[in-house]
Amino acid sequence: MLKEPVDLRSDTVTKPTPAMRRAMYEAEVGDDVYREDPTVNRLEEEAAARLGKEAGLFVTSGTQGNLISVLTHTAPGQEVILESESHIFYYEVAGSALIGGVQMRPLKGKAGALDPAEVEAAVRPENIHYPPTGLIALENTHNRAGGAVLPPENVQAIAQVAARHQLPLHLDGARIFNAAVALGLSAAELAAPFTSVMFCLSKGLGAPVGSVIVGPRDWIERARKWRKRLGGGMRQAGVLAAAGLVALDQMVERLAEDHANARRLAEGLANLPGLEVVPPQTNMVLVDVAGTGLSASAFTARLAEHGVLAGDTAPTKVRFVTHKDVDRKGIEYTLAVVAKLIKGE
């Protein structure tokens, strides 16, 4: 066993770097509800600039950022078109339905991407029986599709549908920087077709807490009110924002290393009998373990006995997520542990 467990459950487990801790210690702060926290203000400006939008809002989490975005774009009784395995639909505890009173209209995608024609067909025409469509939401990278990158031309086509029907388009870009690095494009280029974008500082970028939503200035003003209403006004949040600024400044380019580690892990796993591996595009490796005769939860429990942590995302599906706190040695160790497990040793 290695000294520390190899934790591949998620990139959310990443710990702040020494530079982040220093920046947090030294952060200039003020009351952010009065907009007097200079470090939060700097993060919001920097995030908006990086994503090519007018303004930004620092929020507690990706889930809160998506919830605030849905609430700000829609009115109760409207419908939101989104992918059937998207995080907003699958993993956000029905917050938008409960708090926003909206109905979800999930469409099945391919590798996380929706068919623009199906999106257009799902937009509701005027009819006494129908809820009006209020929003289209996409996810890039797509988590449950294994960190899949949305093809830019597919996003463009859906943006045209949104524009034709005068609908806002939101991006759950929790991992937009992974998509940008994988495509060799800027985050601003990927964000351009969207009205609003949420991205996370606390995943592959390694900050301890927080996400940012970006969009038009008047929209962010309304989002700020929703954040307060939801209890997300954070006062001296500069200590957190300081780590976010370091994340944007120092942690984006290195995501390529996580992608290379995911590819190495996938290649090694694909050579083992009983495993079906989805070739990774970014930092996630999805593996169907049905061929081993084990359930995903039994499989991950066996790995955990040897100090390797992975997640089960369906009865026979296991997810490994690479990130800055797992190096190549951890990946090779993981491959050795899985090989032994499969040989029944």
Does residue number 172 form part of the binding site for ligand TLP (CB under 6 A)? yes
Q: Using the rule CB under 6 A, is 39 a contact of ligand TLP? A: no
Report the residue from 139, 161, 292, 312 that binds ligand TLP according to the rule CB under 6 A.
139
Contact indicator for 317, 296 with CB cutoff of 8 Å = yes
- Name the amino acid, one letter, at 77: G
The residue number with the shortest CB distance to ligand TLP is 62
Candidate ranges 40-48, 61-69, 162-170, 288-296; the one touching ligand TLP (CB under 6 A): 61-69
Q: Does 130 bind ligand TLP (CB under 6 A)?
A: no
Q: Tokens 């380019």 identify what position?
A: 253
Angle (CA) 331 335 340, round 5°: 150
Residues 204, 255: contact at Cβ < 8 Å? yes
Residue 137 phi/psi, 5° resolution? -130, 130
Alpha helix positions (H), the chain: 18-26, 38-51, 62-73, 87-90, 95-100, 116-122, 152-164, 176-183, 187-191, 217-229, 238-250, 255-270, 296-305, 328-343
Going by C-alpha positions, the residue among 200, 177, 108 that lies closest to residue 145 is: 108
In the bound state with ligand TLP, the residue whose beta carbon lies nearer, of 140 and 316, is 140
The residues pairing with 58 across neighbouring beta strands, listed in sequence order, are 212
Q: Where in 209-268 is the site for ligand TLP (CB under 6 A)?
A: 211
Which residue, 7 or 79, has its beta carbon nearer to ligand TLP? 7
Shortest Å distance, C-beta 143 to ligand TLP: 4
197 forms part of the interface with ligand TLP (CB under 6 A): no
Q: Which is nearer to ligand TLP, 200 or 303 (CB)?
A: 200
Q: How big is the chain, counted in residues? A: 345
143 sits near ligand TLP (criterion: CB under 6 A): yes
Based on CB atoms, which residue is closest to ligand TLP, 211 or 316? 211
Measured from the CB atom, is 67 or 102 closer to ligand TLP?
Answer: 67
The residues that bridge with 104 in the sheet, in sequence order, are 80
Quote the tokens at residue 226: 């929703």
**Contact between 37 and ligand TLP (CB under 6 A)?**
no
Q: How many residues bind ligand TLP (CB under 6 A)?
A: 15
Closest to ligand TLP by CB, 143 vs 300, is: 143
At closest approach, how far in Å is the CB of 271 from ligand TLP?
26
Q: For residue 168, what are the CA distances in angstroms to 105, 134, 161, 196, 235?
A: 15, 7, 10, 8, 30
Question: Is residue 91 part of the contact set for ligand TLP (CB under 6 A)?
Answer: yes
Return the number of other C-beta atoms located less than 10 Å from residue 63's C-beta.
20
Smaller CB separation from ligand TLP, 193 or 342: 193
Per CB under 6 A, which region of 55-63, 96-104, 118-126, 156-164 contacts ligand TLP? 55-63
85 binds ligand TLP (CB under 6 A): no
Which member of 21, 33, 38, 61 binds ligand TLP (CB under 6 A)? 61
Q: Is 87 in the site for ligand TLP (CB under 6 A)?
A: yes
What is the residue-wise DSSP string for 226-268? HHHHTT---SSTHHHHHHHHHHHHHSSTTHHHHHHHHHHHHHH
Q: Is residue 322 a contact residue for ligand TLP (CB under 6 A)?
A: no
Nearer to ligand TLP, 87 or 263 (CB): 87
Task: Tell me if residue 81 falls in helix, strand or coil.
Answer: strand
Q: Which of the ranges 58-66, 130-138, 160-168, 260-268 carries the binding residues for ligand TLP, by CB under 6 A?
A: 58-66
User: Strand pairing of 133-139 and 79-83?
Assistant: parallel
Give me the residues that bind ligand TLP (CB under 6 A), please.
10, 12, 61-63, 66, 87, 91, 139, 143, 172, 174, 200, 202, 211
